[in-house]
Each structure stands twice: as C-alpha cells, then as structure tokens.
Structure 1
Amino acid sequence: MRACWDDFRLAISFLTVFPVGRDIKATPEMLGRSMGLFPAVGLLLGLGLCVANWMLQGLLPRAVLDCLLVLLLIAATGALHLDGVADLFDGLAGGKDRASMLEIMKDSRVGAIGVVGLVMVLLLKYLSLYHVPLEYKNAALIFMPAAGRWMQVCLCCYAPYVRSEGGTGSAFVENVGQPEFLRATATLIVASLVLFSVKGIFLVFLLGIATMLILRYFESRLGGVTGDVLGAVTEMVEVLVLLLVLATFGS
C-alpha cells in the first residue's frame, strides 16, 4: 500500500506543479510503475476544474469561465505538454526524414508552424469545451485530462522510444508494461461508466481506435515516440475527447 501511495505521489509530482513527491527517490522502475496511475491523476485534475467551475459559474459569463478553465489546467500542469505540441508540429512539418524531424523537435526554438499548431490546439480545446452541453460539462472536464494521460500509457507501453541518447520520456517508455496499461485502462473504463453511463464505453472504444491509428502513424513517421510526442498527443487527445462528447451528446 505504501508503494502504491508513493507511486501516486510520484505521478502527481511529475504531471502537475504540486510538489507532493519531492521526497521520493524515484528509480526508472518506479517512474514506469507510476504511469498506471496517470489517468487517476487526470481525474483529480478534472475534479479540480469542476470545483473551479462550480465556484465561478455564477460570477462570470460561460465564455470567460471556460477560457479560465483551460488556463487553470495549463497552470496546474505547468504547461508540461504544450512545448511538445509546438516541437512536434515543427518537426513533422519541417523534417524531410526521421533524423531531421527528431533534430528539429529537439531544437528549443519554436517555428511558425509550431506556433500555429499550438494556437489551434488551444483554440479547439476552448471552443469545444464552450459548446459542450451544460449537463455534460462536469463529466467532460473530469474525463478529458484522464483520457489524455491514459493515451500516454498506451504509447509508452506499445511504442519504442526513438532517441538513442535517451530523454525525459525514455525512463517511462522503457519501464511500462501490461500491468500499468491494464490499471490505467481499468481506471478509464470505470470513470467513463460513472460519468457517461453506457455511452462512456462507446467513448472508450473510439479512443481505442484513435490509439491504434496514433501508434501506427508515429511508428511510420518517427519509428516510435519521444517525450514531445507524448506531450503533444496528450493535448490533442484532450481536444478529441471534447469533440467526441460534442458529437455524442451535443444534439
């Protein structure tokens, strides 16, 4: 039980700005094991957004409030994944082959394509959240960050890490296995049922299809994943979840 609690604190510490796991001397094995709890951390982030939504909904117009909710999620995660969005778009757009794509993604400078991609992802997230029906808004706020972090587990479990020199994501990718994937998936399925009833299973099914397509795409283009890929996909899956909620419950 103590090991599980330490893994959870480690996951929170890595995915958010809250320093709850600074006293833990993390090993690569612990980092990999903590990924099984990434969706649970996403659920906590979502619950925090729901609390903020409840506190502010009577004070601010919805358009302003939903923008603040997106900003709160960025602040709570320290914009951890947004840099990956810009780097990935730059690399995919500017690289002629795998080596050049990876080299561009490693560059700390951000190009025009990266800026455009980052702006469009955030704009889509905001607009999609704004148009989610009010009766499903809290459910979407909770499920969205959980699904994004579940996708990280999927990619780490089933795709190789492509940088031979290592990187931020290598310790996770190289130490995640079926137990972490099953724990993360069980968490997401239970959350989907609680939040969306039977239709939640349909959302998970669609996310499963998206996972297979994403895995195939990055294995084809890059030969696997990097830390930037994991971060960027997290943001894009959050947008995808909101779009799926809109398509499923918006009419």
Structure 2
Amino acid sequence: MSRLSDRRAEAQVAMMLLTRLPAGHIGSPAPRFADAAWAFPLAGLAMAAVSGAALALALALGVPAAPAAGVALAAGVLATGGIHEDGLADCADGFGGGHDRARKLEIMRDSRIGSYGGLAAMLSLGLRWTSLAAIAAVAPLMAVLGLAALAMASRAGIAVGMARLKPARSDGLGHMASGAGGWRVGVALALGALGLATLGAAAPVVLVAIALAQAAMAALAIRQIGGQTGDVLGGMQQVGEIAGWLALAAWVTA
C-alpha cells in the first residue's frame, strides 16, 4: 500500500477500536493497534462531533444546560460504546479488589462490573456532566469546543501511555498496544495540542490538568499491576478528560 493508504487504514483502525462510528472496510493485512496511535485524537474528534451536535441541538431547542449536558454525554457514550468508561470501571474493580498482581489482572479481565467499578463510572459521568453543564450555562460555544478539545487531548494521552508503559500481560489489547512511538506519538500530541488551542487562554491550564491526571493514573497502574492494559489506557483517557473538564469549568466560571 502507499503511505497515504497506510495512514487511511490506520485512521480507520483507530475509529473501529475507539468508537462505534462507521469506518469503512480495511484491506488485509490490517494495521497494528500501535500503528494507529497517531489517529486516536481524530477518533476523539469524530466522537465529539456527535456529542457537540447533540449539545448544540438541545440548547437550541431550549433544553436547560444541565439536561442538555446529559444528552451530550449520552450521545458520546453511544458513539464510543462506553469503551473508556468500562476501562476505568475495570481498573477500579481490579485495583480496589485484588490482593496481588495476578488477582488484580484476573478481576480486570472479568466482564462483570463490581461496586468499585460502578462507583468509578458514576463519578466519571457525574463530574463530567456537572462540569459541562456549568460551562454550557454561561458559555455554550466554549462547551462545544471543550467537547472536541478534551476528546482529542485525552486520547493523545493514550498514545503516550502506549509508548511509555510496558504491557502488564503477554496477551490482550494492552500487549497489542505496546510499541507505539516515534512520529506517531508526536502526531497524536500535536493533534491533541491543536484541539486544546481552540480553548484560547484556558488551554495551558487544561493541558496541565490532563497531563497530571494521566501521569498519576500511569503511576498507579505501574504500582498496582506493573504496566498498562487496555483497561488502564481507557482509564487514562477518563481521568484525563475528567481533570480537563474540572479545570475548564473552574476557568470559565471564575
């Protein structure tokens, strides 16, 4: 395949893995998950387009900011299938319920959600919902821009996690995700920064919040299970987005 065809196929893989949106047909052999890392922010942007459109439509129809924010988040969850929320929930169950590394990994692989996971998912949705609602009430355009910026930047952080953290298992999504690096991570970071730039003067504050939250999640994963899994990468996206929303809400409403 040509380089352009390679990049297109990698972007399609990113869309297929991180969203439930149509991505078209990919020829054989399909690109590796790690090779698609540069396009993760683009998958985030596609999801945010759905979520942002839902928010804008709800506000235009006179829906108050709080329920309109709920509509936007629901649209985003439908667009992604809740893949990142599920990752955060699995991490919470494993890290909170396992007594050793092997048991933590076993719990994380279980598709059932426990009490820790349920609480983590509720807190994630609640913090993002209330932050988005607070912003939408005073600055609707910033709320729409924030959906795109935070979706892109938090997914750029996934690419960094793939490059910097060793896989905690010898199989699974985390193992397939290992090996991302070089220009692919650089492009992902550049796309994430481009998204944040739309937030104007708030961008540096939001960037620091996302970076610190994702670094903390990475450090916790290393301590708990020795590296990353697909669930850890999803959890990194979630904590980064939560931190970004909190920082943006504080900036807008100050």
Alignment equivalent of 2:82, drawn from 64, 79, 91:
79
Equivalent pair of 1:189/1:201 in contact (CA under 8 Å): no
**How much does 1:57 deviate?**
1.3
Aligned counterparts of 2:226 and 2:160: Cα–Cα separation in 1: 16
Aligned counterparts of 1:69 and 1:235: Cα–Cα separation in 2: 16
Alignment equivalent of 1:107, drawn from 110, 113, 121:
110
**How much does 1:34 deviate?**
1.1
Superposed, 1:149-168 pairs within 5 Å as 149-164=155-170, 166-168=171-173
Distance 1:200 1:182, change over 3 A: same
Residue-by-residue CA offset, 1:66-98 (whole Å, 9 max, x unaligned): 111110000001111222222111111111221
Superposed, 1:75-224 pairs within 5 Å as 75-132=78-135, 133-134=138-139, 135-164=141-170, 166-173=171-178, 175-193=179-197, 195-224=198-227
Distance 1:77 1:179, change over 3 A: same
- Superposed CA RMSD: 1.8
**How much does 1:38 deviate?**
0.4
**How much does 1:198 deviate?**
4.3
| SS, match of residue 176 in structure 1 | coil
| SS, match of residue 168 in structure 2 | coil
Equivalent pair of 2:209/2:243 in contact (CA under 8 Å): no
Aligned counterparts of 1:228 and 1:145: Cα–Cα separation in 2: 17
Q: Which amino acid aligns with 2:143?
A: K
Consecutive unaligned residues of structure 2, counting only runs of 5 or more, are none
Q: How many residues align?
A: 247
Structure ranking higher on relative contact order (CA contacts 8 Å, 6+ apart): 1
| TM-score under structure 2 length normalisation | 0.89
Residue-by-residue CA offset, 1:176-221 (whole Å, 9 max, x unaligned): 112211011111112222x122441342234333333332222122
| SS, match of residue 213 in structure 1 | helix
| Number of the residue aligned with 2:232 | 229
Equivalent pair of 2:85/2:238 in contact (CA under 8 Å): yes
**How much does 1:138 deviate?**
1.5
| Number of the residue aligned with 1:33 | 35
| SS, match of residue 83 in structure 2 | coil
Equivalent pair of 1:6/1:21 in contact (CA under 8 Å): no
| SS, match of residue 167 in structure 2 | coil
| Number of the residue aligned with 1:43 | 45
Equivalent pair of 1:90/1:104 in contact (CA under 8 Å): yes
Distance 1:209 1:240, change over 3 A: closer
Distance 1:32 1:121, change over 3 A: same
**How much does 1:26 deviate?**
4.8
Percent of aligned positions with the same letter in both sequences?
Answer: 26
| TM-score under structure 1 length normalisation | 0.90
Equivalent pair of 1:150/1:184 in contact (CA under 8 Å): yes
Q: Which runs of 4+ in 1 moved over 4 A?
A: none
**How much does 1:109 deviate?**
2.2
